[in-house]
Structure 1
Amino acid sequence: MGAHMLNKLSLKIENKEKRYIDILKELVKKESLSGREGRIGEDSIANLVWEYVNDIGVSATFHEVDNSHNIVCEVGEGERCIVFSAHMDTVSAGDYGKWLTDPFGAEEGVVRYLGNSAVEVEVCGKRVRGKIRDQMDRIWKMRKEKEKKIIYGRGSFDNKASVAILLFLLDILGDIEMDGKIYAVFTVREEVDAEGIKHFIKTYKRDFDKFRERYAVVLEGSYSFMPVIAHRGVCWAYIRTYGKRCHASTPHLGRNAVVEMCRIVDYLEANKRRIIDELYEHSEDRLLGKPTFSITSIVGGGIRKVVGGKIDRIDLNVIPDFCESSVDIRYGRGITAELIHDFFTREIKKVSQDFEFTVEEETFYPSAGIGNSFDDAMEDDFVKAVMESSGINQVGIAPGASEGAFLHSAGFKTLVEFGPAGAFSHDAHEYVEIDEIKRGVKVTTTLLNKMGFV
């Protein structure tokens, strides 16, 4: 593509920017809790995206995933392919009273950088301050501007802005001749079990096998399109202990499952450094570093439910015969669900026999990464093209897992996170910077040009 065509596309982007800012607002106003993204033909986020796709006029299909629909668009043909994915679902808004305005109002406002990882958000005359991630702080330090216009609301940053950017990209590409296949995938259930991206990979696997080169870009609220090249894997595991019920006044006649769990948790915490070092020997991933594990919940005895910090209890005079703890485990490449199961089972057996250790394989995210170190990654041709396109000559590691875990495992060279600047995903006061919509389309169009797709 020559300079004339790039200039023509740039003008087209300028002319359409307002439309896609308005589309982003409509997306934010449409609630889309993970697992409730809805279907085509319903009043849902999936149907709204489907209508926009049809207005653009690209080839598209929808695929049922549980009770919702993935949407897959295909553009171009060739021996190479690139997948752009953007998930449509969000987490809940939580307590509406903690927000400055209606979390689904999609109000415009401003964010001001205060230094030292702090920002001030102002919407509808109300203000709040908060801390941002270190990587986003570095982006602010690179900028001349210390104030940006924003759209405020649940899902604005994670991940409706990326959905709008991907729609915008499809519109801009229009009738341009492609040298390769582009898949634009709008997925569901990313926030719970990633079934949307898994279904896409399973459905199109035979098509993928024919390409000599495969790339993937996970469009996700991030750091102003700094290439995020890797993330650790994550899985949730459960420790269950069993005992014998009896009256609490005669504890010697029973066996206390809660006490047994305390013994296990105390042992794991006391030996955490050694356990992590020994687990790391199975990976030694220099890019992603050592594993971590954290006990994230303990439930046992007569607990029926916990709502809003209030506990509904029964059987307070009974020695409990059951207790369960959840464990969040993060790890580098080379570590599998089976390895984690066997490793922790052997470790816990050193202190207890009355337990089960299970790994929830449905939510097992493999680790993903480009290269074995930062230096390796920055010498990769794909990463170089991304850095040149975004103008950010550095790479990052994602703190959490993404759909990139499964694209990487399917043989794609994958940017696990690449997206607009904003903050406070999964928290009150979530926002995205408005000018990142236009920037996102310019960056992705330039990337496709540098890689020879357009």
Structure 2
Amino acid sequence: MAVHIRKAAAKLKRYHHFMSSIRAPLVKMLQDLIKIESINPSLAATGSGEQGVALFLEQYCKEKGLPYEFQEVADGRANFVTWRTGRDPDKRVLFVAHMDTVPIDKWETDPFSGEEHSGRVHGRGSCDDKASLAAMLTALSTLGDSQPATTIVVVASIDEEFRKIGARAIAQSGVTYDAAVVGEPTDLELVVAHKGSVRWQLEVQGVPAHTSKPYLGVNAITGMAKIVLAIDKLNAVLAKQDDPLVGPPAITVSLIEGGIELTTVPPVCRIWIDRRLKPGDSPQQAIQEVEDIVNTFRSGEDQIRVCSLLPAWEDPAPNSAEGTKIAEVASRACANVAGTGKYIGAPWGTDASQLSLAGIPCVVIGPGSVDQAHTSNEFVDIEQTVKAVEIYRQIMIEYEP
């Protein structure tokens, strides 16, 4: 008994020493990543994109002796890939976190300072998603003599905040993965399912006329207003279709534009529709539900000239990872390190939407809260980020197909 106690105490001492030793370099790496502006250029014309982060990661891998490569995706934007070969090199587990961020707005301080205070690191991308990225790379680089059963591949992806073309490139690369861990701010909770989305535009065509004689024209905005109210009623129907993990689906008219100038009956009006999908929902069926609505306005007394502008942007909801090996291993790691590990769902989306199309079972785990993501006071808790390193390490070491 005394021998077992001494061994347990020695193991615990080594664990605390490891956690203490990685804290400072991990925080420094996270701060360096935040200082690199990597706003998605599809969301802001002035956004620099992910290249600066990828070049930083290249230097990091050179210093750590890790192999790496760039996976070219589009327009000079590339995923960054590094790995550790496992005992079975043909089996792979993917760890992915994205490099891009959303734009900045109304920050009272420097959003790229990476300032540390009160046990937190602040700045754009701190929790979404550079803390997960720093933790994954630290986990990979500190495996030491622990050779994992499978090859561990860490990918820093592009474009997660817009159309997820980086994740789509991974899924379509021809490289197979037994499982994936997606880093996103979950407060180290284990997300095994989340919503998907499908987004597209509707356009109403009217007839221009002078507003002094509006009866000579057809008001596209008025026609669209009727359709928007009908879509709002659909949302009330969807709210009753609850999913035990992710909640009900939803539909939102999120953008609207129309008209050409103040004294002209508006000849055109467009809206953007954001439809959130629960697992099992078909993007095509979601579009058809709206088509059924607009058909009533096309053929009814209003005779509204309305059409869907397709193709839509589709991010299907991944199948739940419940019952999979990766969820089992991740649950144990979360419980061991953070006292978490219960299977939960989330209402938002991740790169798992595209990875799941390749049949890869995915879980989502990372430091920080989604409540801070995309805000003007974004931050991440340092202790959570340190614990994320150990959670990722345990998954890397313990996962066996």
TM-score range, shorter chain: 0.7 to 0.9
Per the alignment, residue 74 of structure 1 pairs with 83
Of 416, 420, 435, 2:383 maps to 435
Structure 2 residue 251 is the aligned partner of structure 1 residue 293: yes
Kept after mapping to 2: 8 A contact 1:235/1:360: no
Aligned 1:250-329 pairs, distance under 5 A = 250-274=213-237, 286-302=244-260, 315-329=261-275
Measure how far apart 1:335 and its partner are.
Answer: 2.8
Per the alignment, residue 184 of structure 1 pairs with 154
Per the alignment, residue 128 of structure 2 pairs with 158
Structure 2 residue 277 is the aligned partner of structure 1 residue 331: yes
Deviations 1:354-376 (CA, angstroms, capped at 9, x unpaired)? 10123553x311101325xxxxx
* Residue 332 to residue 162, structure 1, CA distance change in 2 (3 Å): same
Per the alignment, residue 315 of structure 2 pairs with 365
* Residue 95 to residue 102, structure 1, CA distance change in 2 (3 Å): same
Of 24, 31, 38, 1:32 maps to 38
Kept after mapping to 1: 8 A contact 2:254/2:272: yes
Distance in 1 separating the partners of 2:15 and 2:49:
32
> Percentage identity across aligned positions?
25
The secondary structure found in structure 1 opposite 2:186 is: coil
Per the alignment, residue 389 of structure 1 pairs with 333
Per the alignment, residue 4 of structure 2 pairs with none
Distance in 2 separating the partners of 1:165 and 1:360:
37
The secondary structure found in structure 2 opposite 1:435 is: helix
Measure how far apart 1:410 and its partner are.
Answer: 1.2
* Residue 295 to residue 183, structure 1, CA distance change in 2 (3 Å): same
Distance in 2 separating the partners of 1:270 and 1:343:
12
The secondary structure found in structure 1 opposite 2:308 is: strand
Q: Which amino acid aligns with 2:330?
A: V
Of 360, 363, 366, 1:419 maps to 366
Distance in 2 separating the partners of 1:268 and 1:177:
54
Count of residues paired in the alignment: 375
Kept after mapping to 1: 8 A contact 2:115/2:123: yes
* Residue 393 to residue 69, structure 1, CA distance change in 2 (3 Å): closer
Measure how far apart 1:325 and its partner are.
Answer: 1.1
Measure how far apart 1:275 and its partner are.
Answer: 6.1
Deviations 1:5-24 (CA, angstroms, capped at 9, x unpaired)? 99767644532331121111
Distance in 1 separating the partners of 2:235 and 2:149:
51
Per the alignment, residue 102 of structure 2 pairs with 91
Q: Which amino acid aligns with 2:294?
A: I
Distance in 2 separating the partners of 1:414 and 1:168:
21
Deviations 1:319-374 (CA, angstroms, capped at 9, x unpaired)? 1110011111011233333222322112221123410123553x311101325xxx
Kept after mapping to 1: 8 A contact 2:368/2:385: no
* Residue 286 to residue 21, structure 1, CA distance change in 2 (3 Å): closer
Kept after mapping to 2: 8 A contact 1:337/1:359: no
Distance in 2 separating the partners of 1:38 and 1:406:
19
Kept after mapping to 2: 8 A contact 1:10/1:442: no
Measure how far apart 1:235 and its partner are.
Answer: 1.6
Kept after mapping to 2: 8 A contact 1:233/1:366: yes
Distance in 1 separating the partners of 2:79 and 2:32:
19
Normalised to the residue count of structure 1, the TM-score between the two structures is: 0.76
Kept after mapping to 1: 8 A contact 2:246/2:347: no
Q: Which amino acid aligns with 1:14?
A: S
Distance in 1 separating the partners of 2:400 and 2:349:
29
* Residue 452 to residue 8, structure 1, CA distance change in 2 (3 Å): farther
Q: Which amino acid aligns with 1:52?
A: Y
Kept after mapping to 2: 8 A contact 1:292/1:331: yes
Task: List gaps (5 residues or longer) in structure 1.
Answer: 111-148, 303-314, 372-376
Kept after mapping to 1: 8 A contact 2:82/2:154: yes
Kept after mapping to 1: 8 A contact 2:180/2:326: no
Per the alignment, residue 45 of structure 2 pairs with none
Measure how far apart 1:444 and its partner are.
Answer: 1.5
Measure how far apart 1:150 and its partner are.
Answer: 0.5
Kept after mapping to 1: 8 A contact 2:122/2:378: yes
Deviations 1:96-150 (CA, angstroms, capped at 9, x unpaired)? 3xx3x3121111122xxxxxxxxxxxxxxxxxxxxxxxxxxxxxxxxxxxxxx11
* Residue 6 to residue 183, structure 1, CA distance change in 2 (3 Å): farther
Structure 2 residue 401 is the aligned partner of structure 1 residue 450: no
Distance in 1 separating the partners of 2:164 and 2:352:
10
Per the alignment, residue 340 of structure 1 pairs with 286
Measure how far apart 1:266 and its partner are.
Answer: 2.0
Measure how far apart 1:405 and its partner are.
Answer: 0.9
Normalised to the residue count of structure 2, the TM-score between the two structures is: 0.86
Measure how far apart 1:286 and its partner are.
Answer: 5.0
Distance in 2 separating the partners of 1:369 and 1:334:
7
Of 350, 356, 368, 1:402 maps to 350
Aligned 1:163-174 pairs, distance under 5 A = 163-174=133-144
* Residue 357 to residue 103, structure 1, CA distance change in 2 (3 Å): same
Distance in 1 separating the partners of 2:296 and 2:33:
52
Distance in 2 separating the partners of 1:54 and 1:67:
22
Give 1 or 2: higher strand fraction: 1
Distance in 1 separating the partners of 2:334 and 2:247:
26
What value does the CA root-mean-square deviation take over the aligned residues? 2.5
The secondary structure found in structure 1 opposite 2:192 is: strand
Per the alignment, residue 301 of structure 2 pairs with none
Distance in 2 separating the partners of 1:64 and 1:27:
21
Distance in 2 separating the partners of 1:196 and 1:6:
39
